Amino acid sequence: MIRSCLTIIMLLFLGAKNAYAEESSNKLVSDLENKVIDITSNFDGSELFIFGASRNPVNQVSDTKRGIIIEVIGTTKSRIVRKKEKKFGIWVNGTKEVLAGVPDFYHITSTREINELLTASNQQNNAIGIINHLQKENSHVNHDILNALIKIKEQKNLYQFNEGTLELKENMLFSTKVSLPNNIAEGFYIIKTHLTARNKVIDVTKQLLVVKKVGIGNFLFNMAHNSPFTYGIFSILVALISGWAASEVFRRLRG
C-alpha cells in the first residue's frame, strides 16, 4: 500500500508538471498495484488495486460530464447458453445459443452513472458496458439470452457493477479496489480506464493483468489437458498407492 501511495504522489507531481500541455494526447494515466495474480491451491479470491490521475482538471471543473469509467475485462471465450424446457414432465436443456467473446470476468466502476457520463450511442461506439461488449460480437442474439448470461455471471460474483461509486479526489486522482472472487478463471485481463468529458470519451488507457494457476493445481491442469493419457495413468497410480498405503497403515495399527 505504501508503494502505491508513493506512486500516486509521483503521478500528482507529473500531473502538475504537465498541466500546461492540456490538450496533449495523454490526458490520463493509470496503473495497477499488481500485474500478476496467482491462483494457488488455497486461493480464496484476491484484490486488484487500480489507481491513476487525469491531467487537465482545471478548465473542466464545471463540466458535469467529466468523469472516469474503469472496466476490468477477463479473458473472452465462446460460451453456450442453454435454456431449460419442460419435456415429459422434467426440466431438460432445450434451445441453445453459442455466444462469442464472453468475458470470464467483468467489473465496471465510474464516478457517476454511465448514462450521465456518455450518451447511449457513445457507450455503444466505445463498447463500454457489458451489454455493449457482448453485443459487439453477438449482434444476432436475443437480448433475453444476453441478460440471462449477465445474471448468471452476476450471481457468481463474476460480473460486478459499481457505477457511480468511484471517487475523483481533487477532481484528479482516482483509485479503486476490485475484489476478484475465488472462482475466477486464469488468463489475460484487460483494465480499461476511460476519461470522459462533454458526453464523449476523450482518453483511454489499457493495462494488462495476468491471472494464472500456479503450484500443484497448475501442474495437474496442464497435465490433464496436454497429456491426458499420462494424467489418467498418474491418477490411477496415485489411487493405487494411497489404497495400498491405507491398507498397510491399518494392518500395522491392528497389529
Interface residues with another protein (CB under 8 A) are 39-44, 77-84, 86, 89-93, 96, 98, 145, 148-149, 151-153, 155, 182-183, 185, 213, 216-218, 220-221, 224-225, 228-229, 231-236, 238-240, 242-244, 246-247, 250-251
Q: What is the nearest approach in angstroms of another protein to the Cβ of residue 38?
A: 11
Report DSSP state, residue 104: S
Q: What is the nearest approach in angstroms of another protein to the Cβ of residue 103?
A: 12
Q: What is the nearest approach in angstroms of another protein to the Cβ of residue 200?
A: 35
Sign, CA dihedral 64-201-124-179, equals negative
Q: What is the nearest approach in angstroms of another protein to the Cβ of residue 74?
A: 13
User: CB–CB of 184/105 below 8 Å?
Assistant: yes
- Rounded distance, CA 231 to CA 227, Å? 6
* Choice between 171 and 218, CB closer to another protein: 218
Q: Which three cell numbers stand for residue 170?
A: 481533487
User: CB–CB of 196/213 below 8 Å?
Assistant: no
Determine the straight-line distance between the first and last CA of the chain, rounded to whole angstroms: 57
* Choice between 132 and 218, CB closer to another protein: 218
* Choice between 201 and 224, CB closer to another protein: 224
Cα angle: 1, vertex 54, 164; to 5 degrees: 80
CA distances from 121 to 95, 107, 154 (A): 31, 21, 25
User: CB–CB of 199/84 below 8 Å?
Assistant: no
* Choice between 26 and 40, CB closer to another protein: 40
Q: What is the nearest approach in angstroms of another protein to the Cβ of residue 8?
A: 32
Helix (H, G, I), strand (E, B) or coil at 3: helix
Q: What is the nearest approach in angstroms of another protein to the Cβ of residue 138?
A: 14
* Choice between 59 and 155, CB closer to another protein: 155
Packed helices 143-155 and 130-137: angle between N→C axes, nearest 10 degrees: 130
Sign, CA dihedral 85-88-89-92, equals negative
* Choice between 3 and 251, CB closer to another protein: 251
* Choice between 168 and 220, CB closer to another protein: 220
Q: What is the nearest approach in angstroms of another protein to the Cβ of residue 179?
A: 14
Q: Report the DSSP pairing between strands 46-54 and 28-32.
A: antiparallel
